Amino acid sequence: MPIRRSTIRRAYVPLLLAAAALLAQLPAAAGAEAAERRPVVFVHGYNADPGVWGSLRDDFKAAGYTEGELYSWGYDTSQSVNETLSGEFGAYVDEVRARTGAAEVDVVAHSFGSLVTRWYVKHGGGTGKVAHWASLAGPNHGTGTAWACAAWSQACRDMTPGSYVQDRLAEGDETPGDTAYATWWSECDEVINPDDSVLLDGATNNAAGCLKHNELLGDEGVSRGVRDFVAS
């Protein structure tokens, strides 16, 4: 007996409805994932500019981030950490939060940028606005090489061991609040002296191997670690 077309249609209708329901759920799931993702703010180091983040930004975009979720802050690196730069950075964070609607941001800083952003988190009210703070080769306890430029640069004076900025950042809890902290340091860093100046009590401290100071910015292993950290 031949099968009628009406019988075939009745058999396929439930399957088509189930497929449509499944497809309808996919955009919602993707949207929920994007909504949970925080914007990332990259902060460069001394005598640098936002262009240093090209490689890491590309890695974040390859991982699904959009341009509207990635921000690179540029600033005058000759200025004081506590008197000028931390406040300017705090204003930038508020701008990013207002633009994106996010309650918190994730911060990735290199070198001197670690001091600026850390001061904001610890002394500028940033613990409630920064969910993850990552420091690549940051002079978190000072670096002896900063004495070479301390005579004319306030930023260099801030980076010297025992400076006002270093002492205030080291006092009490080095990693306060609910912010998650992580550092990446290299045993071959020619700028940070001693190498372990980068490490912080209470942070996840990651050894990057034998990399020069700026090589941490483009290293695949460091990039993967930073992306995993901000996603945690």
User: What pLDDT, in 10s, does the model give residues 161-171?
Assistant: 999 999 999 99
Neighbouring CB atoms inside 10 A of 166's CB total 22
Nearest to 55 by CA among 110, 117, 93, 127: 110
- pLDDT tens per residue across span 204-230: 999 999 999 999 999 999 999 999 999
Mean pLDDT value of segment 178-202: 97
Show the tokens assigned to 106.
Answer: 């994730």
Whole-number Å distance between alpha carbons of 199 and 140? 7
Residue 182: the pLDDT is: 98
Instruction: Delimit the domains of the chain by residue range.
Output: 1-36, 39-230
Whole-number Å distance between alpha carbons of 126 and 164? 20
**Does residue 232 carry a pLDDT above 50?**
yes
Whole-number Å distance between alpha carbons of 40 and 157? 28
Beta-carbon contacts of residue 204 (< 8 Å; ≥ 6 apart): 180, 181, 182, 183, 229
- pLDDT tens per residue across span 83-116: 999 999 999 999 999 999 999 999 999 999 999 9
Please state, in angstroms and as integers, the Cα–Cα distance from residue 64 to each residue in 54, 57, 58, following that order: 16, 11, 10
Residue 131: the pLDDT is: 98
Amino acid sitting at position 208: A
Amino acid sitting at position 185: W
In the chain, % of residues over pLDDT 90: 84
**Does residue 6 carry a pLDDT above 50?**
no
Binning pLDDT at 50, 70 and 90, where does residue 3 land? very low
DSSP state letter for 43: E
Residue 34: the pLDDT is: 46
Mean pLDDT value of segment 9-18: 44
The full length of the chain comes to: 232
Whole-number Å distance between alpha carbons of 158 and 143? 10
Mean of the per-residue pLDDT values for the chain?
Answer: 89
- pLDDT tens per residue across span 128-142: 999 999 999 999 999
Entry pTM: 0.85
Mean pLDDT value of segment 146-164: 96
Q: Is the dihedral of CA 170, 159, 39, 64 positive or negative?
A: negative
Cβ pair 147, 160 in contact under 8 A:
yes
Nearest to 43 by CA among 138, 129, 124: 138
Residue 147: the pLDDT is: 97
Q: Which CATH architecture has domain 39-230?
A: 3-Layer(aba) Sandwich (3.40)
